Structure 1
Amino acid sequence: MNTKRLNFKSLISLIAISSVLFSCNDDSDSTPSAKTDYDFANVDYSGQTARIMMLDSLESYIKSGNDGVTKLSAVDMNAIYTNESGDLFGSSKDLESKTANDPTLLANVYTQIPFYFASAEAASGNMDNIIGGRLFDANGHEPAQMVGKGLMGAVLYFQSVSYYLTPEKLEGADNETVTEGKGTDMEHYWDEGFGYFGATTDYLSNEEATKYYWAKYAASRADVYDVRGDIFNAFIAGRQAISDKDYETRDAQAIIIQNKWEELVAINVVHYANSVISDTELGDILHHWSEAVAFATALQYNTSKVITNEEIAGVLGSLYVEDIKNANKEALNAQMEAAKAIIKNTYGFSDEVMSNL
């Protein structure tokens, strides 16, 4: 392994300390109606925490190329993505094997990831590719955003709402045998779904709690459209329902999470489309456009989604710009408005929400 990778592994080891903010087990005697924190006994979602930290470190590494001097390595990026060493953050887990890979998807992040690793490497180490303090590839895409937000959808969102919280995963799971530190199989699957949200156990009751990825973006949009309580409280109620063997309530809470998390994806597409419209500097336009596109691809990854594939195709088609660096601003804004219109029609967001996100 070369010196650069050794230095990089030293860098990401510093990030690992934040993982202690996750997966806190706190035995609680509180009743279900009074429970405000995810403080159940026998909880373990360390695998999900490890993957979140891997994604955080991967995104941070790509952003290190924002100085226009650092030469990035696609090999190093892939080493994080696949956990080549087998022990990143003390875990054998990886991101690559959990990335949704379906050839029928309108935009398959799994096949895009190697491309963005390569485009980040090619663009890095060259000040000509730094616009507004950020690294962009030849197509005007920001690799850090395309990878970071892309995997937010294709791993974190997909694995939670379309795998762990589904009847197919939960129905046949054992809910009798309790494993110390882990719970029953059914409880554990639910906890793993919660782990991908990126929230601490005291997410709503502690404003200073560190938030990662989806939990962070839910908090960021909360002033305009707040889904934090819907998602977090449904995770709590569903976990309690499993312990109570109340499967009707469990399933109802899973549906709430799937629906509200989908809305969270959608409002972030609107937010970044609005940012593109209001931006005046090219670097900001490219940055926010990359985020809008990456969040829009995430709409695909909920098997219980409200939005249709045709509508997703419409959103992605409206957002697509072949030569974004030289796009006419008036035409670009019109495309952003077209994408927003599809989302508004699909989810029924108010005019106030649409304009203020």
Structure 2
Amino acid sequence: MNSKKQFLALVALSTFFISCSNDDDSNPSTQTYDIPETYTFERNNLTSVDYSGQNARILMLQEMGDYYKTQGTAGIAIDATVLNNMYSNTGNPFSSADLNSSGKQLKDKTAASVDYFDLLFGGGTTAEQVSVRAFFETQFTEGVNASQGNNASAGVAGKYLDGSSVRLFAANGLEPQQVLLKGMMGASFMDQIVNTYLSVNKLDAGTNFIDNTNKIVESGKNYTTMEHNWDEAYGYIYGADDAANNSYKFWSSYINQVNADSDFNTVRADIDLAFRKGRAAIVANDYTTRDEQIAIIKEKIAIVPAVRAVYYLQDGKAKLVTDNGAKAFHALSEAYGFIMSLRYTNKPGTNNPYFSKVEVDTMLNTLISGPNGLWDIDNISPKLDAISTQIATRFGFTVAQAATVN
């Protein structure tokens, strides 16, 4: 923290004190304050939390995924224009009028973070951003090709019956729907969480630090800009949860799945506490604690795609023996998307991903490197083990530990 910020924080601390029942002796800050049991924050008896934009984008991605499934199961060809319109939210493509009128879209939040894709801070390039967005649009075309009536086979895009549903596969065996869903979880949601809204370059931009210290709220709103930025990071994980109906979507759902394994059973509690503690710290102008929680969230959420990538690589490997079609390729397509997500993680203290773009691209290309991609079943198992070991070693767990997560 620079001297100007330290001075402002000290001024604020001299006039702002919150009693606390949750003091942490390891916290270098001398200030104490309450950390709520749930993510509930108020100002003047009204909520100061708003992540409606994140809720909208989560629901948009869900509807895009559902479109592949419903069209495939009904035997109706996919229309790439529909998916492109959903991606950019043009032409009222969604079933919900609220989504159509939200002013939000997924495309402009794909590979668009402050730390990785803003030229002021480096990390990514405009060319990479264009390439990533074009890649997802290619998955729309792949869905069209797979929905035309052919049965999926080596080198042939088509359909494959999976229970009562029909799954659609590209000629290389990848499932466009799963590549889109898991890939977008990384390129949009993960990238925005750790590389934009939890970035000090965003949190402290402009007058944000001074305004938050002096509790100057945004015009017509009940939150400071810094509070709102933090809430938006939270919303990309939990923004569409419906706990009463046991409904959790995307990152929240996969955090739960990883947390269900005894080797990773503190992940959800760690992330949840860090979000609540960091938000409380922002209210209390305790920026040291805020930054400590940022590091915790970045570390813990990065574990989730790493564990799920290894799990699905090993699950797909096992299913190649018992079912060398839909179920195996479905799992491997999920692994492909989670590997993509690793490029958008942010290792604390580095402002770089746990795996570079080059490393991620190499793993993805290796996965589908045969003449017929995933259909080269006799040669794929060693690749799956090698990639699994590479990911597990980088994160400090074993392939066996990740492979047991349900």
Q: TM over 0.5: same fold?
A: yes
> For 1:221 and 1:208, how far apart are their aligned partners in 2?
20
User: What residue number does 1:39 align with?
Assistant: 40
- Kept in 2: contact 1:62–1:72 (CA 8 A): yes
CA gap 1:289/1:105 in 2 versus in 1, 3 angstroms:
farther
Q: What is the one-letter code of the residue matched to 1:37? A: T
> For 2:256 and 2:359, how far apart are their aligned partners in 1?
26
Q: CA deviation digits over 1:1-29, x for unaligned, max 9?
A: xxxxxxxxxxxxxxxxxxxxxxxxxxxx9
User: What residue number does 1:55 align with?
Assistant: 61
**Are 1:219 and 2:256 an aligned pair?**
yes
User: What residue number does 1:269 align with?
Assistant: 309
Counting only pairs closer than 5 Å after superposition, residues 191-202 of structure 1 correspond to structure 2 as 191-199=231-239
- Kept in 2: contact 1:100–1:155 (CA 8 A): yes
> For 1:210 and 1:99, how far apart are their aligned partners in 2?
25
Q: CA deviation digits over 1:282-338, x for unaligned, max 9?
A: 111111111111110111113433334554345334423341353134x21111100
2:327 to 266, 280, 284: 284
User: What residue number does 1:356 align with?
Assistant: 404
CA gap 1:142/1:243 in 2 versus in 1, 3 angstroms:
same
User: What residue number does 1:75 align with?
Assistant: 81
> For 1:123 and 1:310, how far apart are their aligned partners in 2?
29
Task: Quote the offset at 1:157 in angstroms.
Answer: 0.7
Q: TM-score, normalised by structure 1?
A: 0.83
CA gap 1:253/1:108 in 2 versus in 1, 3 angstroms:
farther
User: What residue number does 1:130 align with?
Assistant: 159
Give secondary structure in 2 for the equivalent of 1:109: helix
CA gap 1:252/1:188 in 2 versus in 1, 3 angstroms:
same
- Kept in 2: contact 1:311–1:342 (CA 8 A): no
- Kept in 1: contact 2:374–2:380 (CA 8 A): no
> For 1:84 and 1:106, how far apart are their aligned partners in 2?
20
Q: What is the one-letter code of the residue matched to 1:237? A: K
- Kept in 1: contact 2:278–2:291 (CA 8 A): yes
User: What residue number does 1:324 align with?
Assistant: 373
Q: What is the one-letter code of the residue matched to 2:236? A: Y
> For 1:286 and 1:107, how far apart are their aligned partners in 2?
27
User: What residue number does 1:91 align with?
Assistant: 102
CA gap 1:149/1:256 in 2 versus in 1, 3 angstroms:
same
Task: Quote the offset at 1:198 in angstroms.
Answer: 3.0
1:336 to 380, 384, 389: 384
CA gap 1:341/1:274 in 2 versus in 1, 3 angstroms:
same
Q: What is the one-letter code of the residue matched to 1:196? A: Y
CA gap 1:106/1:342 in 2 versus in 1, 3 angstroms:
farther
Task: Quote the offset at 1:88 in angstroms.
Answer: 5.0
Q: CA deviation digits over 1:172-229, x for unaligned, max 9?
A: 323121356541110000001111113568x8xx575421100011112222223111
> For 2:88 and 2:255, how far apart are their aligned partners in 1?
28
Q: TM-score, normalised by structure 2?
A: 0.74
Give secondary structure in 2 for the equivalent of 1:301: coil
- Kept in 1: contact 2:55–2:239 (CA 8 A): no
> For 2:73 and 2:225, how far apart are their aligned partners in 1?
46
**Are 1:239 and 2:239 an aligned pair?**
no
Instruction: Tell me the percent identity.
Output: 31
Task: Quote the offset at 1:103 in angstroms.
Answer: 5.4
Q: What is the one-letter code of the residue matched to 1:75? A: T
Task: Quote the offset at 1:40 in angstroms.
Answer: 1.3
CA gap 1:300/1:49 in 2 versus in 1, 3 angstroms:
same
1:254 to 284, 287, 294: 294
2:134 to 90, 99, 111: 111
| Structure 2: tracts of 5 or more residues without a match | 1-19, 23-32, 43-47, 113-124, 152-157
CA gap 1:285/1:138 in 2 versus in 1, 3 angstroms:
same
Task: Quote the offset at 1:339 in angstroms.
Answer: 0.4
**Are 1:121 and 2:121 an aligned pair?**
no
> For 1:191 and 1:308, how far apart are their aligned partners in 2?
28
Q: CA deviation digits over 1:56-107, x for unaligned, max 9?
A: 1111111123226111100011111111036652401111111116456599
Identify which range, 154-163 or 126-135, moves more after superposition: 126-135
User: What residue number does 1:187 align with?
Assistant: 227
Give secondary structure in 1 for the equivalent of 2:338: helix
> For 2:134 and 2:336, how far apart are their aligned partners in 1?
16
Q: Which has the larger radius of gyration?
A: 2
How many residues are matched? 325
> For 2:229 and 2:132, how far apart are their aligned partners in 1?
24
User: What residue number does 2:336 align with?
Assistant: 293
Identify which range, 180-189 or 74-83, moves more after superposition: 180-189
> For 1:166 and 1:347, how far apart are their aligned partners in 2?
22
Pairwise CA RMSD of aligned residues?
2.6
Identify which range, 166-175 or 299-308, moves more after superposition: 299-308
Q: What is the one-letter code of the residue matched to 1:95? A: L
- Kept in 1: contact 2:310–2:399 (CA 8 A): no
> For 1:199 and 1:30, how far apart are their aligned partners in 2?
28
> For 1:189 and 1:350, how far apart are their aligned partners in 2?
35
Q: What is the one-letter code of the residue matched to 1:211? A: Y
**Are 1:306 and 2:317 an aligned pair?**
no
CA gap 1:273/1:142 in 2 versus in 1, 3 angstroms:
same
